[in-house]
């Protein structure tokens, strides 16, 4: 499996290095075809995942424990939340903290009677909330069940091996999962390093270009390899806690300098509206339809991104969830990080809205995806300290996302071991680094293109096969889960 995955990745990377523009043109053409034929499939899949997870969590099935009956959770709620959040969101909340809410305010996705600020936050919540974590939670639940209840290997093919006994087909499924994971991870590193470069340019009033981004990618890949080499307890857990503490400090500082009553009002109003509108939003139904162009640039891309991250994030969450019930896992994954993200965007979004109101006019100061948060902090005391802290956070979040993924990919390729060999961790660290360089080059293929545009188009394509497999895997799992519950019920009544 390792040799097949590395072979495909090596050939793909080589093609990008040799024919960058031609590869980009092919990706662009294919992404349009996927968008036109399967874009809404992503929406329906996301809604289905949320409803399914809530149904399982609130039903008697939610009592099923990942592990032995009396086994206690391996990690505290604090450590567990820090690790799952660092792996699952991380640098993204810094990338979009200011840019996305202000974009939605200035360019409302659809006509609404809501105040523009509430609509902007509601749609931002929609794209970062329950659906994203439902993709992760579904995968965590299925893998966790087969790992800790059925005692199977940490392989996606383990979930369907009773249905598909053919070893070649199962290997193909694992390779598909690996490639989906790699593309999602590479997109995140490419975006994160480009934002760090944008921050350095803003702070130093310089113009660091492509070479600086490539150097940053090298540094982050090396740090991630070191963390993955140390393992979950010594590397990933410690770094995740540090990330969350620094993030909370930045959030608290921004909140104190903001209009706190206004922030709280927007947070509760937008959260309430999001819950009320969740189903029509998820279906892009009627007046909630922002149109194909908007959906392509935003929602379809986000859903493809979350899907691409689902294998490694979900499996990593499963790996750290031993001893928890399905109810604890699913409600914890859906609610805790979602509310944290909503509050984050409420603080930064509301503060940005008030800055724009104070300026009297908006000239696109926060339009730059890679520079918006640095421009934002430029309006606060200790701006340089805040911006340097943001860069440190970006590095920390990227490292924790990459080291988690390297660890999970190593599990896949090392016969499903829960503690994979360090040789596999080294190999994956190296090839993820090379693939990220390839994506960054794609993002510089044309003057009108950047890493974000390249990542959007690539992920909409690469996530599609895995999305179809995810539906099949879920049906197989539900059959197994209902069988398990029925057997447990019969056994309890016999006694």
DSSP readout, 113-180? SS-HHHHHHHHHHHHHSHHHHHHHHHHHHHHHIIIIIS---S-GGGGTTTT---HHHHHHHHHHHHHH
pLDDT of 235 > 60? The answer is no
pLDDT confidence of residue 406: 79
Question: Cα(71)–Cα(361) distance, rounded to whole angstroms?
Answer: 58
Question: Cα(238)–Cα(494) distance, rounded to whole angstroms?
Answer: 47
Burial of 292 (0-12, 13-18, 19+ CB in 10 A): middle
User: Nearest 5°: phi and psi at 65?
Assistant: -100, 140
Which tens digits make up the pLDDT trace of 401-453? 777 777 778 877 777 777 778 788 888 888 888 888 887 887 777 776 667 67
pLDDT confidence of residue 350: 97
Least confident piece of the model among 108-117, 242-251, 330-339, 468-477 = 242-251
Instruction: Work out the average pLDDT over 179-203.
Output: 80
Which residue, chain included where needed, has tokens 């993820």?
432
Structure tokens at 446: 């044309």
Which tens digits make up the pLDDT trace of 315-371? 878 888 888 999 999 999 999 889 989 999 999 999 999 999 999 888 889 988 788
Which residue, chain included where needed, has tokens 């994160």?
192
Question: Cα(141)–Cα(139) distance, rounded to whole angstroms?
Answer: 5
pLDDT confidence of residue 297: 85
Interacting residues of 318 by C-beta distance below 8 A, sequence separation 6+: 66, 139, 140, 141, 143, 144, 147, 148
Least confident piece of the model among 89-103, 152-166, 345-359 = 152-166
Three-class secondary structure of residue 65 per DSSP: strand
Structure tokens at 279: 């189903």
The secondary structure of 363-388, three-state, reads CCCCCCCCCHHHHHHCCCCCHHHHHH
Which tens digits make up the pLDDT trace of 436-445? 888 788 777 7
Contact between 126 and 273 (Cβ < 8 Å): no
451 vs 38, more confident? 38
Question: Cα(267)–Cα(244) distance, rounded to whole angstroms?
Answer: 20
Q: 276 pLDDT band (50/70/90 cuts)?
A: very high
Question: How many CA atoms lie less than 13 Å away from 226 in the CB half-sphere?
Answer: 10
16 vs 273, more confident? 273
pLDDT of 270 > 60? The answer is yes
């Amino acid at each position: 499996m390792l040799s097949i995955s590395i072979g495909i990745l090596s050939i793909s990377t080589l093609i990008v290095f040799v024919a960058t523009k031609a590869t980009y043109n092919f990706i662009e053409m294919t992404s349009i075809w996927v968008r036109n034929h399967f874009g809404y499939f992503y929406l329906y899949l996301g809604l289905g995942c949320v409803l399914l997870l809530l149904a399982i969590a609130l039903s008697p099935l939610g009592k099923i424990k990942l592990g032995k009956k009396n086994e206690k959770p391996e990690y505290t709620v604090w450590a567990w939340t820090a690790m799952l959040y660092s792996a699952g969101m991380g640098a993204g909340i810094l990338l979009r903290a200011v840019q996305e809410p202000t974009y939605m305010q200035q360019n409302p996705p659809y006509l609404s009677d809501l105040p523009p600020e509430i609509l902007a936050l509601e749609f931002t919540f929609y794209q970062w909330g329950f659906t994203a974590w439902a993709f992760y939670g579904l995968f965590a639940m299925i893998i966790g069940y087969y790992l800790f209840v059925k005692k199977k290997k940490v392989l996606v093919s383990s979930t369907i091996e009773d249905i598909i006994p053919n070893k070649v087909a199962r290997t193909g499924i694992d390779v598909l999962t690996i490639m989906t994971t790699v593309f999602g991870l590479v997109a995140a590193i490419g975006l994160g390093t480009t934002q760090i470069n944008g921050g350095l340019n803003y702070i130093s009033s310089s113009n660091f270009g492509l070479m600086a981004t490539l150097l940053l990618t090298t540094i982050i890949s090396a740090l991630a390899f070191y963390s993955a080499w140390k393992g979950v307890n010594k590397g990933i857990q410690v770094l995740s806690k540090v990330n969350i503490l620094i993030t909370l400090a930045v959030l608290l500082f921004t909140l104190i300098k903001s209009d706190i009553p206004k922030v709280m009002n927007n947070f509760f109003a937008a959260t309430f509206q999001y819950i009320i509108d969740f189903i029509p939003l998820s279906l892009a139904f009627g007046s909630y339809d922002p149109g194909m162009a908007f959906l392509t640039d935003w929602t379809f891309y986000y859903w493809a991104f979350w899907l691409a991250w689902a294998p490694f994030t979900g499996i990593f969450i499963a790996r750290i969830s031993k001893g928890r019930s399905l109810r604890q896992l699913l409600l914890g994954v859906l609610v805790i990080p979602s509310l944290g993200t909503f509050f984050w965007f409420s603080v930064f979004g509301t503060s940005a809205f008030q800055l724009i109101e104070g300026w009297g006019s908006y000239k696109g100061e926060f339009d730059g995806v890679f520079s918006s948060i640095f421009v934002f902090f430029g309006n606060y005391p200790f701006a340089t300290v805040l911006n340097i802290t943001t860069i440190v956070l970006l590095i920390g979040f990227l490292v924790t996302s990459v080291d988690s993924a390297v660890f999970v990919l190593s599990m896949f390729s090392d016969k499903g071991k829960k503690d994979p060999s360090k040789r596999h961790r080294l190999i994956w660290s190296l090839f993820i680094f090379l693939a990220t360089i390839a994506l960054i080059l794609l993002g510089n293929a044309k003057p009108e293109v950047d890493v974000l545009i390249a990542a959007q188009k690539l992920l909409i394509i690469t996530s599609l096969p895995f999305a179809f497999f995810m539906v099949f895997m879920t049906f197989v799992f539900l059959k197994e889960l209902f069988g398990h519950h029925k057997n447990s019920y019969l056994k309890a009544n016999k006694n």
